[in-house]
């Protein structure tokens, strides 16, 4: 299992929010490029970047993301507000390894099928959920769709896999809830990437034993709850 550092970008800064809510910043770092290079130097094999401004439709950080992708020797996967083909194309053109689609994938299966067919194994579908309901539009609205139903419906598409974020525990440093994760792992043959609530090495061990492909760690590595270099060394 790979341990992947998260870089959430808002207003050109690296931030960590609680439950994805603007105004709850627990971490705010001006030098986003420096953060990316730090995680690379500490052993990251891939960087997970979310453009919060784009997800919340308050702007975008594409120029910064392009600079990061060009400056690193490791790949990046990018998400946040990716809701049309032109943006998907731009992100691949600037060197992104994988593109994460949430809202549009949940609302428009023909769109995500087309993107998956054009970029095989390059698309990740985000199922960001509260009480098993998938959220959309930067976690601001419910979709009315159950996450297991969504995963089973899209599993046959040539996507790379699914990104599951448990919004109920995101950024709280209280640990993961393994029950929905195990249910998702049992529902897909694709790689499952998990984020939300990962707080300790014990959480990472649980995820590895459940067969999770990758664990995206944010708040815990920024606050020192998890030593990123050690985690990368122990989980591969």
Highest mean pLDDT among 18-27, 131-140, 204-213: 204-213
Tell me, yes or no, whether 192 lies in a domain: yes
Domain extent at residue 20: 2-231
Are the beta carbons of 48 and 77 closer than 8 angstroms? Answer: yes
pLDDT, the chain, mean: 95
Closest among 148, 77, 164, 154 to 114, alpha carbons compared: 154
Tell me, yes or no, whether 236 lies in a domain: no
Residue 68's pLDDT is what?
A: 97
- CA torsion angle for 137, 141, 146, 152 (degrees, to 10)? -10
pLDDT reading at 19 higher than 80: no
| 27 burial via Cβ count (<10 Å: 0-12, 13-18, 19+) | middle
pTM of the full structure: 0.95
Question: 15 pLDDT band (50/70/90 cuts)?
Answer: very high
Q: How many domains does the chain have?
A: 1
Residue 137's pLDDT is what?
A: 86
DSSP letter (8 states) at residue 193: E
Q: Could you report the per-residue pLDDT of 184-215, keeping only the tens digit for each?
A: 999 999 999 999 999 999 999 999 999 999 99
pLDDT reading at 71 higher than 90: yes
Tell me, yes or no, whether 224 lies in a domain: yes
Residue 17's pLDDT is what?
A: 87
**The residue to which tokens 């599993």 are assigned:** 155
Mean pLDDT within 77-84: 95
pLDDT reading at 21 higher than 80: no
Question: 24 pLDDT band (50/70/90 cuts)?
Answer: confident
The CA distance from 95 to 133, in Å, is 32
pLDDT reading at 51 higher than 90: yes
The CA distance from 80 to 187, in Å, is 24
Average the pLDDT over each of 41-55, 71-85, 135-149 and give the range with the smallest value.
Answer: 135-149
Question: 29 pLDDT band (50/70/90 cuts)?
Answer: very high
Residue 216's pLDDT is what?
A: 98
> What's the Rg (C-alpha) of the chain?
16
Tell me, yes or no, whether 125 lies in a domain: yes
Bigger pLDDT: 138 vs 14: 14
Long-range contacts of range 39-43, CB-CB < 8 Å, 24 or more positions apart?
39/5, 39/7, 39/221, 39/228, 40/72, 40/73, 40/74, 42/228, 42/229, 42/232, 43/228, 43/229, 43/232, 43/233
HEC string for 106-131: HHCHHHHHHHHHHCCCCEEEEEEEEC
For residue 134, give the CATH number of its domain.
3.20.20.70
Exposure string over 195-228, b if 16+ CB within 10 A, otherwise e = bbbbbebebbebbbebebbbbbbbbbbbeeebeb
pLDDT reading at 168 higher than 90: no
pLDDT over 90 percentage in the chain: 86
Tell me, yes or no, whether 55 lies in a domain: yes
Chain CA centroid to CA 99, Å? 10
Which residues are part of the catalytic machinery? 8, 128
Element (H, E) at 233: helix 228-234
Chain CA centroid to CA 4, Å? 9
Question: 231 pLDDT band (50/70/90 cuts)?
Answer: very high
Sign (positive/negative) of CA torsion 51, 171, 226, 2? negative
């Amino acid at each position: 299992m790979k341990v992947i550092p998260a870089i959430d970008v808002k207003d050109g800064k690296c931030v960590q929010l609680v439950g994805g809510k603007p105004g709850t910043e627990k971490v705010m770092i001006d030098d986003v490029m420096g953060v990316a290079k730090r995680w690379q130097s500490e052993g990251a094999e891939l960087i997970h970047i979310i453009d919060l401004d784009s997800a919340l439709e308050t702007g975008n950080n594409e120029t910064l993301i392009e600079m990061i992708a060009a400056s690193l020797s490791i790949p990046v996967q990018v998400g946040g507000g990716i809701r049309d083909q032109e943006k998907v194309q731009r992100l691949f053109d600037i060197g992104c390894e994988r593109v994460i689609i949430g809202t549009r994938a949940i609302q428009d299966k023909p769109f995500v099928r087309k993107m998956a067919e054009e970029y095989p194994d390059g698309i990740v579908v985000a199922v960001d959920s509260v009480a098993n309901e998938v959220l959309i539009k930067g976690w601001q609205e419910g979709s009315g769709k159950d996450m297991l139903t969504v995963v089973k419906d899209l599993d046959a598409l040539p996507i790379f896999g699914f990104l599951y974020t448990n919004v109920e525990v995101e950024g709280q440093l209280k640990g993961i809830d393994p029950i929905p994760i195990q249910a998702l792992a049992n529902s897909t043959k694709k790689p499952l990437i998990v984020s939300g609530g990962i707080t300790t090495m014990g959480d990472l061990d649980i995820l590895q034993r459940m067969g999770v492909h990758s664990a995206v760690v944010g708040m815990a590595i920024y606050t020192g709850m998890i030593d990123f270099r050690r985690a990368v060394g122990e989980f591969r």
